[in-house]
Amino acid sequence: MILLHGFPGNERNLDLAQDMRRAGWDVLYFNYRGSWGTPGAFSFSHGIEDTAAALAYVREPEVAKNLRLDPARIVLIGHSMGGFVAVEAAANDPAVKAFATISAADFGGNFLASLDKETKAAAIEKLSKNLANEGMAPLAGCTPKGLALDVAHHAKVWSFRANVDALKNRTALVMTSDDGLAKQNQTFADELTRAGDSKVTSAHFPTDHAYSDQRTELSSAVLHWLASLPN
């Protein structure tokens, strides 16, 4: 299991990591470059690249042997921005058989939708302000405007809809809460199902974006789903 944190990463879901470890899973958690003291410059593009590097790392024969890993059985799970990264990384890597999202942020889809209401420049400015309001202190080598431009440049390929075809044969768990992201995530799950994916599970929790008062329930849902995966 590779666990992917959100933006900027205040909630790291390490309680889920410990629960998954107790259930017998190896869990890799890391900070994207430029975040939380990790060297380099943070960007959404780099987050996707860093996840690809993590996948390559756990597949190295010597690493897999020393850590007793099964390189053929890797699962991605991400929260918020981490959910976005999980979708992109899984779409880029057919060997990832299963992925899970927790209130994933559809950066590309949201940006494309904003262009129906405002100019591209206005959409970039709005996204920049929203990112700044999330808190940039833990992130290095980036600006809100630069991150917004990264999204604008990749919006068409970063939308969840654009990744449906690449993911329609994967096992997926899509979890949502009352944080305003439920509709777009359920739409993603429905589109996977309509594309022929019979292995999509959805779960909704009546709580906030951090699942503050539903941590036990969230963990139970994840563990139940993991237990259902084929060996």
pLDDT digits (tens, 9 = 90+) for 76-116: 999 999 999 999 999 999 999 999 999 999 999 999 999 99
Task: Express each pLDDT in 105-164 by its tens digit.
Answer: 999 999 999 999 999 999 999 999 999 999 999 999 999 999 999 999 999 999 999 999
Rounded distance between C-alpha atoms, residue 169 and residue 139, angstroms: 35
Is the pLDDT assigned to residue 21 strictly greater than 90? yes
Q: Which of 38, 39, 52 is nearest to 9 (CA)?
A: 38
Closest CA to 80 of 212, 173, 218, 175: 175
Residue partners of 113: CB distance under 8 A and separation at least 6:
none
What is the C-alpha to C-alpha distance for residues 13 and 6, in angstroms, rounded to an integer? 10
**DSSP state, 35?**
B
User: Residue 32: pLDDT above 90?
Assistant: yes
Q: What are the chain's domains?
A: 2-107+160-228 (3.40.50.1820)
The pLDDT of residue 231 is above 90: no
Beta strands in the chain (DSSP E): 2-4, 28-29, 75-79, 98-102, 171-177, 200-205
pLDDT interval class at 230 (50, 70, 90) = confident
Residue 129 structure tokens: 């302000």
CA distances from 68 to 57, 60, 62, 99, 162 (A): 13, 12, 10, 21, 35
- State the average pLDDT for the chain: 97
Confidence (pLDDT) at 229: 95
* pLDDT score at 164: 98
pLDDT, tens digit (0-9, with 9 covering 90-100), for 172-205: 999 999 999 999 999 999 999 999 999 999 999 9
H/E segment holding residue 113: helix 107-114
DSSP summary character for residue 32: P
